[in-house]
Structure 1
Amino acid sequence: MAKYRGGRINEEVKKEISEIIRNDIKDPRLTAMVSIVDVNVTKDLRYAKVYVSLFSTKDKDKEESFEALKSSTGFIRREVGHRMNLRYAPEIIFELDNSIEHGMHIDSLLERIKE
């Protein structure tokens, strides 16, 4: 049973952070649509690396939204600590994930090759 614990914790932290961002953060800089792609919590539960994908038409909105997320890490950490029964509230580290945009770029290149 112990080998599945890490995956369950990752998914639970992902769900909680997604809910906190959607419902509780009231930062006006957060204008882009935020999607939590993946969460990796270390085995000692001290750090959680959160991979975020931002959807917006303007690059400036993406940068401001990412800065808003970074500035709210303390609030998110406190909320995760209150909502989950873990030994430690993990320190949240946000990483920008551009895999969806990269995939769309590769798809457009493949479509051009077909034509």
Structure 2
Amino acid sequence: MAREYSRTNRFGEVVMRELALMLQREISDPRIGMVTVSHVDVTADLKYAKVYVTRFNGFESEQDVQECLQGLNSASGYLRRGLAGRVKLRSIPELQFVYDKSLENGFRMDELIAKANKPRQEDD
């Protein structure tokens, strides 16, 4: 039976915390902007990490998303070296950045709920 809180989950949280700090303080690429790490999935062998990112101010187009991901992927070597200095592990996973749309979906759902409740508020 698998443990509820495995090593990969703990390591994913450490990577998430350290990457968020590095992106905030050390990366100055204008393509990236104000990016935050929302989740990190690490494979069982700790060789690959899928890093889900979102941007605070959102994106205007799909092209902005691609530029941001290109900036993050170009900085992935620097980020891996930074992780190697901060995390004591024999090998640091290869980082793959993916845009997380859950924040945008949440905002869209809030707008839809507000729009659905608006006629009720006007009746009262």
Normalising by structure 2, report the TM-score.
0.80
Per-residue CA deviation, residues 70-90 of structure 1 (Å, 9 max, x unaligned), is 211111111112221112110
CA 1:3–1:106: 2 relative to 1, 3 Å: closer
Matched with 1:29 is 31
Aligned match of 1:18: 20
Cα–Cα, structure 1 residues 112 and 24, in superposed 2: closer, same or farther, change >3 Å? same
Q: What is the CA–CA distance in structure 2 between the aligned matches of 1:28 and 1:108, rounded to whole Å? A: 30
> 1:2-33: CA deviations, max 9, x gaps?
953222111111111111111111223332x2
Q: Taking every aligned residue pair, what percent have the same amino acid on both sides?
A: 37
Compared with structure 1, are the counterparts of its residues 113 and 3 closer, same or farther at alpha carbon in structure 2 (3 Å cutoff)? closer
| Aligned equivalent of 1:92 | 95
Contact 2:8 2:46 (8 Å CA) reproduced: no
Mapping of 1:47-58 within 5 angstroms? 47-56=48-57, 58=59
Gaps of 5+ in 2: 119-124
Q: Aligned residue pairs: how many?
A: 114
Structure 2 residue 28 is matched with structure 1 residue 7:
no
| Contact 1:54 1:62 survives alignment (8 Å) | no
CA-CA distance at 1:110 after TM superposition: 1.3
Distance 1:3 1:38 in 2: 15
Paired residues of 1:56 and 1:62 also in contact (CA < 8 A): no
Output the CA distance in 1 between the equivalents of 2:51 and 2:58. 22
